[in-house]
Amino acid sequence: MSGTVLAEAPERAAATAPTPPGRRARPARRWRRIVSPVALVAAWEGAARAGLLPAEKLPAPSDVLAAGARLARDGTLTTHLLDSLTRAAVGLLIGGGLALVLGTVAGLLRLGDDLVDPPVQMARMLPHLGLVPLLIIWVGIGESLKVALVALGAFFPLYFNTYAGIRDIDERLVEAARACGLGHLARLRHVVGPGALPSLFLGLRLAIGAAWLSLVVGEQVNAQTGIGFLMMEAREFSQTDVVVLGLVVYALLGLISDLALRLAERRMLTWRRGLRAT
Amino acid sequence: MATRTSRDLTGPPPVLTARAVRRSFGPAAVLAGVDLDVAPGEVVALLGGSGSGKSTLLRVLAGLDREATGERVVRGTAAVVFQEHRLLPWKRVADNVALGLSGPDVAARVDRALAEVGLADRRRAWPAELSGGQAQRVAVARALVREPDLLLLDEPFGALDALTRLRMQGLLRRLRAEHGFAALLVTHDVEEALLLADRALVLDGGTIAEELPVPLGPTRTPDDPAFGALRRRLLDRLGVPAP
Ligand SMILES: Nc1ncnc2c1ncn2[C@@H]1O[C@H](COP(=O)(O)OP(=O)(O)O)[C@@H](O)[C@H]1O
Ligand SMILES: [Mg+2]
């Protein structure tokens, strides 16, 4: 990286090129990476139009979009989307909040570590999606099941990354802060918090990924609303376009949440960019 | 003991007093009763072999070790510079210097301290963007901004290359002449001790095994015969054989 920067510098200073080559090369590369996905979708569309793909198995992308537009217009999509989002948000708040609190307690306090960490380590071995039958017995097949699944899915990655983020903080930095006269709370604020933040972001990203996955599974169980319900209902009526639309919506939710989180990460962890450059 | 009594009677009280400082890690006693004083404005070098307990003692004197026993009194404020710069990577240079400070004039004080170490223009930089020498200068500024009566330095230039180390030694000498703080300088470098200190202590076997005044003038060079004699004596005491 530094090699290319050095090579560019004289050119930029001499102003012979209107844009430095590095700047032009990167968008060109980005466009190139779009080529194959676009080609795939075009091939899919072509195959569907040519009748190679039977519409009841896989409808054309344009038909999926049309179904999306239809459902968006009559408000169905929005209603179900909001229900799914609410489940995800509530589950994420409960599971994520609990993970933050317990992870912090276990990471900061020896007593917390001894009391909290062993049971969490044990529970981690259970595949949480395999808990569906037990959860149905415990909380029924209603809304609580979906929220509980999302909460469980979000809890573990955030707990472990909170814990590790706090544990991995350089003890010498804490000591230097103490030498500068910082008390417990000030050290939490200036050293432990910012030091654990990169790990927290990683945990949050994994937690949100797990939350979407849990939501997909949860919404297949006797849902009356939500994107999953929309898909199950469409399957009964053989509306394959709506089934595929549901998948697209799930994928977009994952993509958008990940992008938003990355943006927040870039803004809050500016100091790491300098770190990477050296 | 006689010298101490006379100092107690005539001079101002020491800025740092330590008595019977003990510290063990498990069964091994690293510090087995250390006594030392540092007078106001005095620079004391603390020498000792690797693993002799210099850093352990400095942490105790800085009040960073809760498990040590013995008596420790600091009259005034103390600030610490460690071997590694220990700047918080997520704070810009100026915010690192300002760590733990409060008051309306913090920004001005920080700017002044950074100017004194020649880094006024790097106040917005991230620590990762600095060279090793620059980062250590920021660490010195972070100590300096607290206007310490006593500066505790743990091999502050040990990780730097030879040229940078020479510049940093010059910087420390200049700052000390301007501010008049006392300093306890932990080092394993006999020349550094003789260039900077008024007195040298040797830590060995968990106690101060040797105390040596360094009666060299304000301008010192290793070419001075007196310098060479003192160096030989300290090296002998540290167990380095003559060439
Ligand atoms: N936190 C610790 N736990 C166990 N042993 C330690 C610890 N800190 C220092 N020691 C031991 O104490 C001795 C002195 O260490 P130190 O003060 O760092 O030496 P120096 O700074 O003189 O090189 C070493 O033998 C080291 O292994
Ligand atoms: Mg040491």
Give residue B52 CA to ligand 2 midpoint distance, Å. 8
Give residue A121 CA to ligand 2 midpoint distance, Å. 37
Name which of A267-271, B9-13, B18-22, B188-192 the model is least confident about. Answer: B9-13
- The reported pLDDT for the residue numbered A1 is 35
Q: What percentage of residues in chain B have a pLDDT greater than 70?
A: 96
- The reported pLDDT for the residue numbered A15 is 38
CA–CA separation, B61 and B72 (whole Å): 7
* Domain of A105, in residue numbers: 61-268
DSSP B13: P
What pLDDT, in 10s, does the model give residues B49-62? 999 999 999 999 99
CB contact under 8 A, A271 and B128: yes
- The reported pLDDT for the residue numbered A109 is 96
B192 close to B157: Cβ distance less than 8 angstroms: yes
Q: What percentage of residues in chain A have a pLDDT greater than 90?
A: 80
Q: Does A198 touch chain B (CB under 8 A)?
A: no
Give residue B70 CA to ligand 1 midpoint distance, Å. 18
pLDDT confidence bin for A25, thresholds 50/70/90: low
- The reported pLDDT for the residue numbered B10 is 67
In a domain, A21, yes or no: no
What rounded mean pLDDT belongs to chain B? 92
CA-based nearest residue in chain B for residue A182: B100
Q: Does A223 touch chain B (CB under 8 A)?
A: no
**Which CATH number covers residue A143?**
1.10.3720.10
CA-based nearest residue in chain A for residue B148: A180
Top-confidence residue, B226 or B3: B226
pLDDT confidence bin for B134, thresholds 50/70/90: very high
CA–CA separation, B93 and B84 (whole Å): 15
Tell me the average pLDDT across B227-235. Answer: 93
Tell me the average pLDDT across A81-105. Answer: 97
- The reported pLDDT for the residue numbered A6 is 37
User: With DSSP H G I counted as helix, E B as strand and the rest as coil, what are the percentages for chain B, rounded to 5?
Assistant: 35, 25, 40
Supply the residue whose CA is at minimum distance from atom 16 of ligand 1: B53
The structure tokens listed for B201 are 């202590």
Chain A residue numbers touching B79 (CB-CB < 8 A): 179
Instruction: Report the gap between the CA of B94 and the closest CA in chain A (Å).
Output: 14
Chain A residue numbers touching B90 (CB-CB < 8 A): 194-195, 197, 269, 271
Tell me the average pLDDT across A204-225. Answer: 93
What pLDDT, in 10s, does the model give residues B169-193? 999 999 999 999 999 999 989 999 9
In a domain, A13, yes or no: no
- The reported pLDDT for the residue numbered A12 is 38
Q: Does A133 touch chain B (CB under 8 A)?
A: no
Top-confidence residue, A212 or A277: A212
pTM of the entire structure? 0.84
- The reported pLDDT for the residue numbered B121 is 96
User: With DSSP H G I counted as helix, E B as strand and the rest as coil, what are the percentages for chain A, rounded to 5?
Assistant: 85, 0, 15
Supply the residue whose CA is at minimum distance from atom 7 of ligand 1: B25
In a domain, A108, yes or no: yes
Q: What percentage of residues in chain B have a pLDDT greater than 90?
A: 84
What rounded mean pLDDT belongs to chain A? 89
Give residue B35 CA to ligand 2 midpoint distance, Å. 19
CB contact under 8 A, A175 and B86: yes
Sequence-distant (6+) residues with CB within 8 A of B212 are: B199, B200, B201, B202, B230, B233, B234, B237
Supply the residue whose CA is at minimum distance from atom 25 of ligand 1: B51
Instruction: Tell me if B206 CB under 6 Å of ligand 1.
Output: no
- The reported pLDDT for the residue numbered A75 is 94
pLDDT(A159) > 90: yes
Instruction: Tell me if B51 CB under 6 Å of ligand 1.
Output: yes
CB contact under 8 A, A191 and B88: yes
Query: Three-state SS for B34?
Result: strand
pLDDT(A144) > 90: yes
- The reported pLDDT for the residue numbered A274 is 54
Sequence-distant (6+) residues with CB within 8 A of B182 are: B15, B16, B38, B39, B40, B41, B42, B43, B44, B149, B150, B151
- The reported pLDDT for the residue numbered A40 is 95
Ligand nearest to the CA of B203: 1
Give residue B51 CA to ligand 1 midpoint distance, Å. 6
In a domain, A171, yes or no: yes
Query: Three-state SS for B71?
Result: strand
- The reported pLDDT for the residue numbered A14 is 39
pLDDT confidence bin for B240, thresholds 50/70/90: confident
Tell me the average pLDDT across B30-39. Answer: 96
- The reported pLDDT for the residue numbered A272 is 85
Name which of A9-23, A107-121, B113-127 the model is least confident about. Answer: A9-23
The residue with tokens 């537009």 is: A69
CB contact under 8 A, A275 and B89: yes
Tell me the average pLDDT across B84-104. Answer: 96
In a domain, A245, yes or no: yes
CA-based nearest residue in chain A for residue B91: A271
Number of domains in chain A: 1
Q: Does A254 touch chain B (CB under 8 A)?
A: no
CB contact under 8 A, A182 and B99: yes
Instruction: Tell me if B54 CB under 6 Å of ligand 1.
Output: yes
B207-213 and B16-25 as β-strands: parallel, antiparallel, unpaired?
A: unpaired
pLDDT(A115) > 60: yes
Name which of A274-278, B35-39, B56-60, B227-231 the model is least confident about. Answer: A274-278
In a domain, A122, yes or no: yes
- The reported pLDDT for the residue numbered B3 is 41
Chain B residue numbers touching A274 (CB-CB < 8 A): 125-126, 128-129
- The reported pLDDT for the residue numbered B242 is 74
